Amino acid sequence: MKTVYTIKEVRENIKEWKKQGLTIGLVPTMGYLHEGHKSLIERAAKENDRVVVSDFVNPIQFGPKEDLAVYPKDLKRDEAVCVAGGTSLLFNPEPSEMYFKDAETYVNVDKITEVLCGARRPGHFRGVCTVVSKLFNIVKPDRAYFGEKDAQQLAVIKRMVRDLNFDIEIVGCPIVREADGLAKSSRNTYLTDEERSAAVVLSLSLKKARVALENGERNADKLIEIIKCEIEKEPLSKIDYVEIVDSENLKKVSVINKSVLIAIAVYVGKTRLIDNFTWR
């Protein structure tokens, strides 16, 4: 595996691979890679001849009060995960490599970015869509891999790819969890030991909703109440949102009679965690 830092180096490798008729899978990340990322890389390695992982903490998707300055970084650890997963090229650019100082072009997806996390993080998805579009243009992958933990991000990217005619297959990959159910996330490192134990409440609350669904409950408000009730039992938690939405257009639903996304965002201490599941 090679680690490269410039767009020029990425393009040289891609050009060579395309000449040989090889397929390319892209796994966009912000680094501090964990088992969740590794599962995306492994899937990409299975389905493509070459895998490119981008490792870039994208400044323009963070709000002014968010964790950009403290976002964890460890290139050596990332390189080890990439090698283990079957990566060919790791792209680790500086912000100055990715953005012109006087850039004036951004990619904005409208309605489905205005709900859930997008409603609470203004500008976040504009930053995500802009950097992902740039990565698509730099790497020109056949397929790109995203985790289902960021369910709204996945839906937004799919919409962007459809609307802008990117000739790229978007592959969503299942959430990878810790033994107690907590969804793996680079942000879990912010949790104290006490908060880490408390954080299990996210997956527990979703499990309760799943059981209610399995027992025939189809009223969204009742399911939301079940989830909220469980989360509120944990004193270190504070609900940001609990919502049930159409899994494609992310519009709220009141009766569950089609595929829905059940999504939550919860502060545990100061750390905002998300989790979800899709009910089909």
**Residue ranges in contact with ligand PAF by CB under 6 A:** 28-30, 58, 61, 128, 131-132, 150, 153
Contact 135, 108 (CB under 8 A): no
Mention every residue, 6+ apart, whose C-beta is less than 8 A from residue 47: 23, 25, 143, 171
Q: Which is nearer to ligand PAF, 29 or 39 (CB)?
A: 29
Q: Nearest approach, Cβ of 183 to ligand PAF (angstroms)?
A: 13
| 271-279, strands of its sheet edge to edge | 237-246, 260-268, 271-279
Q: Which is nearer to ligand PAF, 89 or 131 (CB)?
A: 131
Q: Nearest approach, Cβ of 255 to ligand PAF (angstroms)?
A: 31
Q: Which is nearer to ligand PAF, 29 or 271 (CB)?
A: 29
Rg, C-alpha atoms of the chain = 19
Contact 5, 93 (CB under 8 A): yes
Q: Nearest approach, Cβ of 37 to ligand PAF (angstroms)?
A: 8
Phi-psi category of 154—alpha, beta or left, where left has phi over 0 and alpha has psi -120 to 50?
Answer: alpha
Separation CA 104–CA 204 (nearest Å): 44
Q: Nearest approach, Cβ of 243 to ligand PAF (angstroms)?
A: 20
CA end-to-end distance (rounded Å), the chain: 39
Candidate list 34, 37, 50, 143, residue with the active-site label? 37
37 has catalytic annotation: yes
| Residue 280, token pair as written in the block | 């089909």
Q: Give the CB-side neighbour count of residue 221, counting CA atoms within 13 A.
A: 1
Q: Nearest approach, Cβ of 2 to ligand PAF (angstroms)?
A: 20
Q: Which is nearer to ligand PAF, 30 or 170 (CB)?
A: 30
Q: Which is nearer to ligand PAF, 88 or 152 (CB)?
A: 152
Question: What single DSSP character describes residue 16?
Answer: H
Alpha-carbon torsion angle 59, 9, 4, 31, nearest 10: 30
Q: Could you give the residue numbers annotated as active site?
A: 37
